[in-house]
Structure formats: structure tokens, C-alpha cells
Amino acid sequence: MMDRTHARPDDRLASVFRFATELVAWVATPWALAGTSWLLAALSVVVLIGLPTVFATPGDKAQAMVPVPGAVTILLVLLQLTAAVVSAWLVWPAWAAVVVSVLAATTLVTERPRWRWLLTSARHP
């Protein structure tokens, strides 16, 4: 059994911000790419939803199809955050892009305990 210092941190609040930012990425990124290529727009959805579904750090999700180190999980979250912010600035009015940017910044702050755990205590494949 793991002691409390190595237990996965309670990240319910961080999960809310992370999921909200992911939703923005899933909507805004294909929207931003649709003018260039419908294929790129569809591919962006596959990448943004598919990669985190398939690749996960054991102990972070109930089940990991393909186990990866914590750093990979963090990089996948950063991909989502970047996609959300960049796409929002490309396709939405400035006020909405500012809201998305604040949401992503809040996610970065609230994710820190989970990321620290992912880098130091998560079970690696």
C-alpha cells in the first residue's frame, strides 16, 4: 500500500478546469482548421481525443490501454491547452479567447500537484 505522501493527489477541481479546456480544444481546433482542410480538422479531433484515451500513466486513470510515463501524460495535457488557446485566438472574438486563455492558465496552476505526482510517484510502465 502506498503511503499518503505518494498517493495520487485529489485533483477534482483541476479535473474540472482540465476537462473544460479539453472541450474548448475539441471544438475550436477543428473549427480553426476547417477553412484549411476538412481532413486536418477531422484529424485534429482524432489526435486531441484519441491520444489521451489510448496513452495513459498507470495509476492516473483506472485503465491505461498503452502505459506511458507521467511526462507523456503531461505533454498530452499541454497539447490540449495549447490547441485550445491558439485555436480560440484564431476563430473566436478576443473576449472569448481571453476567457479561454484564463481557463488554460488556471488549468496550469491547478494541475501542478498532479503533475508533480506524475513525475515523481506515478507507476511507470
pLDDT digits (tens, 9 = 90+) for 7-37: 777 889 999 999 999 999 999 999 999 999 9
Residue 6 pLDDT greater than 70, yes or no: no
With residues binned 3-state (H G I as helix, E B as strand, rest as coil), the percentages for the chain, rounded to 5, are: 75, 5, 20
Kindly report the backbone phi and psi dihedral angles of residue 61, in degrees, each rounded to the nearest multiple of 5, phi listed first: -120, 160
Least confidently predicted of 61-65, 77-81, 96-100, 119-123: 119-123
Residue 2 pLDDT greater than 70, yes or no: no
Residue 1 pLDDT greater than 50, yes or no: no
Model confidence at 121, pLDDT cuts 50, 70, 90, reads confident
Q: Which grid cell is 101?
A: 486563455
Provide the residue ranges of all domains of the chain, joining segments of one domain with +: 12-120
The SS3 assignment for 95 reads helix
As to burial, measured by CB atoms within 10 angstroms (0-12 exposed, 13-18 middle, 19+ buried), residue 81 is buried
Residue 5 pLDDT greater than 70, yes or no: no
Model confidence at 95, pLDDT cuts 50, 70, 90, reads very high
* pLDDT for residue 32: 97
Q: What percent of the chain has pLDDT over 90?
A: 79
- In contact, 118 and 70? CB cutoff 8 Å: yes
Range 98-104 average pLDDT = 98
